[in-house]
Amino acid sequence: MAPCLTLNPRRADSPAPPWLTLRRGFAFTPPLENHMKHNILLTGALMAAYDDTTGPLPGMIAGGQSDEYLTDVAVDAMQNDDEFITPTAFPIVQVENEAGKIKVWDRGSLIRPEMRLHSYGDRPVVGGYKTKKASYDTEHYSLQKNIAPSDVAASRRDPMRPMADAATYLAGQARLNLDLRYASTAFHEDAGWAWRYQGVTGNPNRAADTPEFLQLDQPGANPAELIRGRIERFRRFTGKKPNLLQVGVDVYASLVFNEDITDRVKYVQRGVADIDLLASFFDVPRVQIVSGVVNDAEEGQDDNIDYICDPKGMLLMYVAPNPSRETPSAGYTFNWENLYRAFEGDQERILNELALIRRGYNAETGNRWVQVHTAASSNIVAPDLGMWFSDVVSTSQSDW
């Protein structure tokens, strides 16, 4: 039996918001006050009909229509979206339960030699590794877009267009929601990473493993020396070489114009320090620019659009290429697989299977509807496998 969803159709006279505005986006199953992690107000015209509701799902379209067209539209809109960071940051692990326990890894457990000389007739020593326990909670978020009969009538030449537009809008909201939750977990100073460094405008402390470094947009700054040096320290104390460097937009802009980097790449084919060249320059397999934006203004107020992730921050991590609960990684994104299986009717998985998109028809109102659901949680599971850098640069490129 399909679970109940705590949302009702939006009023027909309520205008739909721009895709960027999360505050008019997701309604979620648990109480609202328990999940205000991003200081985004989820109230207003679109949300008015979603708050404090307990109604069941509207009736499905009879006949089981295929959703391949809608899914293709949503996937096409998002598959080339380089700003969607959640699927390519922490590896995704499918879980059967909404919440549960996870292992948190100790830095030295996997690089401590435990094998012993084996004598004839003896049993091998029993090995193991030290872990602690923590919890994950996937949190079910959802959003519905209604399509009135008048919308379908106005699109006679392309009757699927209103649903395609709704699917694209909902996919964008799901992407925005997932990235906000990832950023609140991992991409900030107080995330809980074991290694934290602070940029300064001049005269950084040169003591061993000092938490200070010269900001990368200051005269004399050497980005390669800083990042390659931290990579080597990372490898020395964890046994893992970092394989992902996430940089805020201000950090990336500074690196592109850094004299040391531009001087070294000016003879290559493109002559531009793009992310592939930066990855090679810093000896890290992947460099990712975290550049998504969000509008967190309340309805009726002036827009307050800002970056989802700290534009002056930088995060260096080791993430497992083959994820499992028994493999150390800076973090994992746990996806509640059984929730998606419980739904019935016309539906498809999108956004690297992190979201479920559905469609149906309400016979009482004549409205068609499209829904999107997410039930994922980004968690840090090995704090030692991440290095956080604050105030990497002093200037903001977007203020020019």
- What CATH number did the domain enclosing 392 receive? 3.30.1930
DSSP state for residue 33 in the 8-state scheme? G
Average pLDDT on 370-398 reads 92
- Whether 151 and 258 map to the same domain: the answer is no
- Whether 67 and 154 map to the same domain: the answer is yes
- Whether 46 and 143 map to the same domain: the answer is yes
Largest CA distance in the chain: 83
| C-alpha radius of gyration, the chain, whole number | 24
- For helices 161-186 and 68-78, give the axis angle rounded to 10 degrees: 50
First to last CA, the chain: 56
Whether 73 shows a pLDDT value over 50: the answer reads: no
Q: Residue holding tokens 């060249």?
A: 277
Coil, strand, or helix at residue 384? helix
- Whether 389 and 339 map to the same domain: the answer is no
Instruction: Kindly state whether residue 78 falls inside one of the protein's structural domains.
Output: yes
Instruction: Kindly state whether residue 7 falls inside one of the protein's structural domains.
Output: no
Whether 198 shows a pLDDT value over 90: the answer reads: yes
List of E strands, 218-292: 244-248, 286-290
pLDDT of residue 156: 65
Coil, strand, or helix at residue 393? coil
Distance CA 154, CA 297 (A): 32
HEC profile of 209-234: CCCEEECCCCCCCCHHHHHHHHHHHH
> How many CB atoms are located within 10 Å of the residue 178 CB?
24
Distance CA 240, CA 208 (A): 20
- Whether 387 and 367 map to the same domain: the answer is no
pLDDT of residue 390: 97
Pairing of strands 244-248, 140-147: unpaired
**pLDDT tens digits for 77-133?**
444 466 789 999 999 999 999 998 888 877 676 667 777 777 787 888 776 667 778
Instruction: Kindly state whether residue 310 falls inside one of the protein's structural domains.
Output: yes
More confident residue, 182 or 62: 182
Distance CA 392, CA 316 (A): 13
Whether 20 shows a pLDDT value over 80: the answer reads: no
Whether 175 shows a pLDDT value over 60: the answer reads: yes
Whether 197 shows a pLDDT value over 50: the answer reads: yes
| 41-64 core/surface letters (b: 16 or more CB in 10 A; e: else) | bbebbbbebbeeeeeebbebbeee
Q: Residue holding tokens 């074991």?
A: 194
- Whether 178 and 36 map to the same domain: the answer is yes
Nearest to 86 by CA among 292, 339, 241, 277: 292
User: Residue 58 is part of which domain span?
Assistant: 22-106+131-188+333-375
User: What average pLDDT does the structure give for the chain?
Assistant: 76
Instruction: Kindly state whether residue 6 falls inside one of the protein's structural domains.
Output: no
- Whether 309 and 339 map to the same domain: the answer is no
- Whether 86 and 138 map to the same domain: the answer is yes
- Whether 252 and 278 map to the same domain: the answer is yes
* Number of residues in the chain: 400
Whether 9 shows a pLDDT value over 60: the answer reads: no
- Whether 65 and 179 map to the same domain: the answer is yes
- Phi, psi at residue 42, to the nearest 5°? -95, 60
Instruction: State which H helix or E strand residue 200 sits in.
Output: strand 195-200
**pLDDT tens digits for 142-172?**
999 998 888 776 666 666 778 888 888 999 9
Q: Decide: residue 212, CB within 10 A, 0-12 exposed, 13-18 middle, 19+ buried.
A: middle
Structural domain count of the chain: 2
Whether 39 shows a pLDDT value over 70: the answer reads: no
DSSP state for residue 59 in the 8-state scheme? P
Q: Residue holding tokens 């890290």?
A: 284
Residue 243's pLDDT band, with cuts at 50, 70 and 90, is very high
Instruction: Kindly state whether residue 303 falls inside one of the protein's structural domains.
Output: yes
- Whether 28 and 79 map to the same domain: the answer is yes
Cβ atoms 271, 356 nearer than 8 A? no
Single pTM value for the model: 0.76
Transcribe 106-120 into DSSP letters: -TTGGGS----PPPT
pLDDT of residue 14: 41
Average pLDDT on 26-32 reads 38
Distance CA 245, CA 387 (A): 10
Instruction: Kindly state whether residue 246 falls inside one of the protein's structural domains.
Output: yes
- Whether 243 and 316 map to the same domain: the answer is yes
Taking CA atoms, 338 is separated from 209, 227, 308, 332, 359, in Å, by: 45, 41, 29, 18, 19
Cβ atoms 20, 2 nearer than 8 A? no
Of 23-27, 94-98, 170-174, 233-237, the range with the lowest mean pLDDT is 23-27
